[in-house]
Amino acid sequence: MVTISDAKSASSRENRTAAHTHIKGLGLRPDGTAEKVLNGFVGQERAREACGVVVDLIKAKKMSGRAVMLAGGPGTGKTALALAISQELGTKVPFRPIVGSEIYSAEVKKTEALMENFRRSIGLRVKETKEVYEGEVTDLTPEEAENPLGGYGRTISHVIVGLKSGKGTKKLRLDPSIYESIQKERVAVGDVIYIEANTGAVKRVGRSDAYATEFDLEAEEYVPIPKGEVHKKKEIVQDVTLHDLDVANARPQGGQDIISMMGQLTKPKKTEITDKLRAEINKVVEKYIDQGVAELVPGVLFIDEVHMLDIECFTYLNRALESKISPIVILASNRGVCTIRGTDGITSAHGVPTDLLGRLLIIPTYPYDAEDIKTIVRIRTKTEGLELAEAAIDAIASIGVQSSLRYALQLMTPASVVARSVGRTKIEVSDVRECQELFIDASTSSRLVEKGPGAGGYIS
């Protein structure tokens, strides 16, 4: 017996709840001023307004090659601000978030990893006018001929494809190589397809909605018959990053035999792309931009924990920012005055050299007060599907003021587990206090370390 089960709709798909799932944007009014609470963001009005100006500059393409720093203590919303900027920019602008320690890779040099992320943050929108044939397949007949090599086998000489659109029908005589593409796409009569005249590329769009009433378990999607003529000129827009172009040109184009395939498999996963290749790609990109074929879309590279970078990386970052093609760089640090990594004890604000600091627009973030933390807790309870008593919200807010917002929010989920273990769905103050005893905060932990063994501290 055939087993048939209900398919879950995409809207009911379960998503993982992350630390910043509730952030939907910067929460600004049309005039650029910040609401106290909007789009999941609470407080930090001045920082949000400053980020709004940065977003406007990015959209106007007047901020390429510049850098911004978000400076503030842990849990003051720096990463949330960066994510809100990406939400405001939309999906068409590349946004590449990394952590400072990410660039220390055993496979490639630090500067190479940094440049790779730079190139991932720069988009290229290519506009191309192509001649295409599109319509519903009404006929699909491969025609055979005698095999030129002799023997009893026969070979396909060409294929006849009938296409129907909103304004007419057309019969096409196609090359056998295109028939291979048709077979790969599993095209059948009744499917809507798209054939590029120049390259012969075939794309199956879906099943024609004229067949929507039939009982077909394998039809992924029903689509309407294309409007207009079967043969038409169409403007196609493709979005790629400069890193995609680098990789496509750096990859060796081996044959399809077993030896070349094995050679590609045994090559290291990461290979450094030379500056010479990147310079050549930049020349081609600039040529396309001058011709009006392509448009450069400077994106955002967000480097969190920037004090983890060393002096070599900072020097390279300075040079990369001066390049003609560069993204907007947003840095974030929760350190005050600290030693610059890779130097002999040279200190600077946020662990960033003074020459780079002079280039930055610095946006400060400040600790949240009790009322702000209460509002954030209420938003997180809805996001995580939890139920808290009002007294428990007050208790978590006071913990957040005394220690940190991160620690306060981390207590919520364990507290819900403790509440369920005693048969309650609502989290009470007692559950929060029990979790506070089970999981200590960073300041309590450091005090225990200072006490040492035998004085009520950790045992060595």
The pLDDT tens digits of the residues spanning 365-403 come to: 888 888 888 888 888 888 788 888 888 888 888 888 888
Give the pairing type, strands 337-339 and 347-349: antiparallel
pLDDT score for 172: 83
d(CA 300, CA 242) in angstroms, rounded, equals 13
pTM recorded for the entire structure: 0.67
Query: DSSP characters for 91-154?
Result: TTS-EEEEEGGGG--SSS-HHHHHHHHHHHTEEEEEEEEEEEEEEEEEEEEEEEEE-TT-SS-E
pLDDT at residue 460, rounded to an integer: 46
Buried b (16+ CB within 10 A) or exposed e, 32-42: eebeeeebbbb
What pLDDT is recorded for position 262? 44
Confidence band of 255 (pLDDT split at 50, 70, 90) = very low
Q: Tell me the fold of 370-451.
A: Helicase, Ruva Protein; domain 3 (1.10.8)
What is the pLDDT confidence band of residue 258, given thresholds at 50, 70 and 90?
Answer: very low
State the CATH class of domain 37-121+299-364.
alpha beta
In this prediction, residues 36-40 reach a mean pLDDT of: 75
> What CATH number does the domain located at 125-286 have?
2.40.50.360
For 345: left if phi > 0, alpha if psi spans -120 to 50, otherwise beta; the answer is: left
pLDDT band at 8, cuts 50/70/90?
very low
Domain boundaries, the chain: 37-121+299-364, 125-286, 370-451
Complete DSSP assignment for 393-429: HHHHHHHHHHS-HHHHHHTHHHHHHHHHHTT-SEE-H
Residue 456 pLDDT class (50, 70, 90 cuts): low
Torsion of CA 334, 335, 340, 341, to 10 degrees: -60
For the segment 183-242, what is each residue's pLDDT rounded down to a tens digit? 888 888 888 888 887 777 888 888 887 777 666 555 567 788 888 788 888 777 788 888
User: Average pLDDT in the 86-102 region?
Assistant: 83
Of 87, 111, 166, 175, whose CA–CA distance to 134 is shortest?
166
The answer to whether residues 361 and 69 touch, using CB atoms and an 8 Å cutoff, is: yes
Contact (Cβ atoms closer than 8 angstroms) between residue 134 and residue 232 = yes
pLDDT at 256: 45
CA distance 329 to 50: 15
The Cα 114–Cα 313 span in angstroms is 8
**Among 42, 8, 10, CA closest to 24:** 42
pLDDT in the model for residue 64: 66
Q: Are 450 and 457 in contact (CB under 8 A)?
A: yes
H/E segment holding residue 171: strand 168-174
Residue 171 pLDDT more than 80? Answer: yes
Q: Which two tokens stand for residue 66?
A: 């510049």
In this structure, the number of other CB atoms found within 10 A of the CB of residue 391 comes to 13
Residue with tokens 């029990």: 434
Taking only the tens place, the pLDDT of each residue in 226-235 is 887 888 887 7
Model confidence at 162, pLDDT cuts 50, 70, 90, reads confident
Own/partner pairs for 140-145, CB < 8 Å, 24+ apart? Answer: 140/182, 140/187, 140/188, 140/189, 142/179
In the prediction, which pLDDT does 227 show?
Answer: 82
Let me know how many helices (H) and strands (E) the chain has, helices first.
Answer: 15, 19
Percent of the chain residues topping a pLDDT of 90 = 0
Beta bridge partners of residue 406, listed in sequence order:
none
**Cα–Cα dist 33/160, whole Å:** 62
